[in-house]
Chains A and B, each alone.
Chain A
């Protein structure tokens, strides 16, 4: 990674009285069981990661695995028990209060799981709130807020109160608010967990659309692998406070580092994750192709064509044929078998 916007080194966060006693040489090396024995709850243990500029980084794991705690550390809301958080190369917790406030006012935005809308403000007031805090003049902040509101498609509801909106609409307000200051770094903590599946899909599309438009760095938390697959560039899977594996969705599915990751990805929609490259067979003697598919194309995009044809398709990269896919490969993907001959 050339220019990480956010990185963390050996970050641990323990809950319990006098948590600092578990720290040795700036790290927590003890295991979960040892810590539990002395009455400490390890929410995050020895996490190491870095997030590149413009990347959409998803943190996922089961409930209680420490996702929220980790992201609260990353956002500087909670001080880690050990380790450091580097924002643009500088330690967040070594900064002065004033500087931290400045960074948060201008460079970070956050969307909360339960929306966290202020009940006494209208939609307009809520979206303009971060600008109000900065002391921007009323006209300027309201103009900006209206811009954000139209961005998330809520025009016409500016003077509604949060309680008059549906869950999906409320979260749109939360999104608009977090974008109002034009942050470089955008945190979303299980933003759609409280929404029903249809609206959730809609909101995921919304995030994808905004991301295509605005190109932020996104740290996105979810416990839903499908959701992660839809939005992520890279995914970190957490278990009991530790990061089990970091990689693209395809890497996680193809080379799970642990049984836990394997179990997690077992029911993943493989056709939407795997690319032609990872299921192709060696070219061999065949030259009679029904057509071509790009090496990076997702299987779901061409499976139909391959199935229709008796002949295999060529997998091409940079104009060169590097392998073939045929009907059999499609079936393997669907039943979750990995082709032994895969490159």
Chain B
């Protein structure tokens, strides 16, 4: 590997002497512009004039109204079509809910005919443990037992099953849909070209923003929430599918041709099965994202664990909120481990000893029979189905006491921390962000785009930021940038420090990895609970929650990048007499820079996706804008605010990726 600039265009090298001055100069100009007295600049520069605003939001609302009320395909109306789709998609959802939570039967209210109760907790526990044993062996079985046991003992069972039903159905549909779309992308170029910008958008847009259109299109009800969930959770599956299918060795395709496979045989007998381990990684992501969104969606009335948490927080019943939050965590861990076990199952050696294999099979079928029989018993004698009230535990009072004690004992300390952070960090940055003239920000984004990625990138970033200004959301957007930006800086500092520290210390890394694995499994919503307890609502709480949620990728990528320095280079530097610090700063960190940038990129995306959640604790940014639009059913406003968040995300993503690509090329690591 060479450290010299290979393949760098000559023009760029000539520009270099002035080039390094560009950023300091821009920074200085920014500071000057911000500290100019009011009135020094023309008014239209500092504040986007109301007269120039484009009423996009109103037009979208009007369009949706037209679509739902008068649009028609001739034979049937758009409304009938969407309602039909909703009806079809509701079937599996209703079935899963009936089996897991509501009970099987038909009819409504008084004339309900009940066929069977929902699967009782003990049957589900046995079945879950057996499934865990089948997928991942004794350890997973144990984890399943403990997790499901927790849900039953602490009275979270009914809510957890409602949540689980939604997660299972939406991830099954999301994974299947993602697979099919991914296959289509591989097969037809134009599908891929059409789909890939949508993927970017769907992933960077806050869920609330398209929850609303879904509600309008598909009617108020859990199906709309499920469709929004699927839309949000499907993109990673599509990406994973295209990557995994393309990564199937070309020889396998040729084998397909040589054995005379038809196209369908090639896809379903060769490509998909041999890409299965990679595809399962995508399925895992779909499940985790679904859980995340299902929790958010259930806050808006679909019931389940998310609703419990929110209700408890509204009552200021911290203990109950924490218990429900822990239940979400438990569910998340169980789902994650189960999906991971499934993903790696095909890579493990099968049981070869026929005796043991047979015993395992007998054990599993036995367990499922027992579960089924117990279900039958519960159907005949419904009063044994519920978890006995007397055996129910609750730690809520203790938690309440603990929080009360902390708040009483450390009130002044916590308050001091909060005040300090507000005065020295949050307030100045906020003031700075709001004082920036919008014209200058647009120009900065354009210059950065041009320097990092050339004319096309500059055009894209300028266009996207102009959109934000033109729809009249500039101030709110800057609040978003301020909160997210600050959180990203803090997360990046922590992440790089922790990543560097743990990269060369395997024991520390194992501990850190466990923590960040956990952090990444938790639905974003869970983060808020303990922090709200300590710091109440406000920007500072939001900041901590965002940092916690977004720090994991920064740590992971840094550690990975630093640890991956070629050993030969490290040996060479040792022989050149470098100290450990020099090795770190001169060799490891520069080489890891592209990877660190990618980690920070992920951090930005996570921070943006956390925005909407923090709207619940009273921030005033775009997240709040989408959330309140949802409450008011203002579809245009919600969509536009959501688009703005997505655009901020896309600008950040493109700039950082371009920077990573550039550093990579400069160090001769590029391909």
Contact = CB atoms under 8 A, between A and B. Distances in A.
A114 B349 contact: no
A90 interface: no
Nearest to B266: A133
Given A132-B269, A161-B349, A164-B349, A120 B258 contact: no
Contact of B274 (A102, A120, A187): A120
A164 B349 CA distance: 8
B276 interface: yes
Given A118-B273, A161-B349, A130 B259 contact: yes
A103 B258 CA distance: 9
B258 A77 contact: yes
Contacts of B269: 129, 132-133
B257 interface: yes
Nearest to B260: A105
B357 to A, nearest CB: 11
Contacts of A109: 258
A130 B258 CA distance: 9
B364 to A, nearest CB: 20
A316 B349 CA distance: 61
Contacts of A104: 257-260
A143 interface: no
A101 interface: yes
Chain B, interface size category, equals: 20 to 34
Given A133-B265, A161-B350, A116 B260 contact: no
B252 interface: yes
Contact of A134 (B254, B260, B347): B260
A112 interface: yes
Nearest to B276: A120
A297 B44 CA distance: 99
B349 to A, nearest CB: 6
A133 B268 CA distance: 11
A102 B349 CA distance: 36
B274 A118 contact: yes
Interface string A68-104: 0000100111000000000000000000000001111
B273 A110 contact: no
A137 B251 CA distance: 26
Interface in B201-256: 249, 251-252, 254-255
Given A116-B249, A120-B273, A164-B349, A133 B260 contact: yes
B262 interface: yes
B227 to A, nearest CB: 32
Contacts of B273: 118, 120-121
Contacts of B274: 118-120
Contact of A116 (B251, B261, B265): B251
A178 B270 CA distance: 16
A108 interface: yes
B254 A110 contact: yes
Interface string A116-132: 10111100000001101
A77 B251 CA distance: 11
A251 to B, nearest CB: 32
A278 interface: no
A133 B261 contact: yes
Nearest to B350: A161
A114 B259 contact: no
Nearest to A103: B260
B486 to A, nearest CB: 47
A113 interface: yes
Contacts of A115: 251
Nearest to A135: B265
Nearest to A120: B273
Interface in A159-190: 159, 161, 163-164, 178, 181, 187
Contact of A77 (B257, B265, B347): B257
A113 B254 contact: no
Nearest to B252: A116
Contacts of B260: 101-105, 130, 133-134
B395 interface: no
Contacts of A114: 249, 251
Nearest to B250: A116
B500 to A, nearest CB: 36
B262 A101 contact: yes
Nearest to B256: A133
Contacts of A113: 251
Contacts of A119: 274, 346
A116 B262 contact: no
A51 B251 CA distance: 24
B259 A112 contact: no
A134 B273 CA distance: 18
A105 B254 contact: no
Contacts of A105: 259-260
Contacts of A110: 254-255, 258
B255 to A, nearest CB: 5
Contacts of A187: 258
Nearest to A121: B273
A163 B350 CA distance: 11
B181 to A, nearest CB: 22
A108 B257 CA distance: 11
A113 B250 CA distance: 12
A274 B274 CA distance: 47
A112 B349 contact: no
A75 B251 CA distance: 13
Contact of A112 (B254, B265, B276, B346): B254
B259 A129 contact: yes
Nearest to A76: B257
A112 B269 CA distance: 19
Contacts of A75: 258
Given A104-B257, A104-B260, A118 B252 contact: yes
Contacts of B352: 159
Q: Which of A120, A134, A161, A181 has the most CB of B within 10 A?
A: A120
A116 B350 CA distance: 21
A187 B251 CA distance: 13
Nearest to A129: B259
Contacts of A134: 260
Given A102-B260, A105-B260, A133-B261, A116 B255 contact: yes
Contacts of B259: 104-105, 129-130, 133, 181
Contacts of A118: 252, 270, 273-274
B312 to A, nearest CB: 46
A181 B269 CA distance: 18
Contacts of A163: 347
B275 to A, nearest CB: 9
A112 B251 contact: yes
Nearest to A101: B260
A110 B249 CA distance: 16
A72 B254 contact: yes
Contacts of A132: 269
Contacts of B249: 114, 116
A102 B259 CA distance: 9
A115 B259 CA distance: 14
A189 to B, nearest CB: 9
A177 to B, nearest CB: 8
A133 B258 CA distance: 11
A119 B346 CA distance: 9
A133 B273 CA distance: 15
Interface in A172-218: 178, 181, 187
B254 A77 contact: yes
A54 B251 CA distance: 26
Given A109-B258, A114-B249, 20 more contacts: A75-B258, A77-B257, A103-B260, A104-B259, A104-B260, A112-B254, A114-B251, A115-B251, A116-B252, A118-B252, A118-B270, A118-B273, A118-B274, A119-B274, A120-B274, A120-B346, A129-B269, A134-B260, A159-B350, A163-B347
12 contacts: A75-B258, A102-B260, A104-B259, A105-B259, A110-B255, A110-B258, A118-B252, A118-B274, A120-B276, A159-B352, A178-B258, A187-B258
The 6 A-B pairs of least Cβ separation, nearest first, read A105-B260, A116-B251, A130-B259, A104-B260, A120-B273, A101-B260
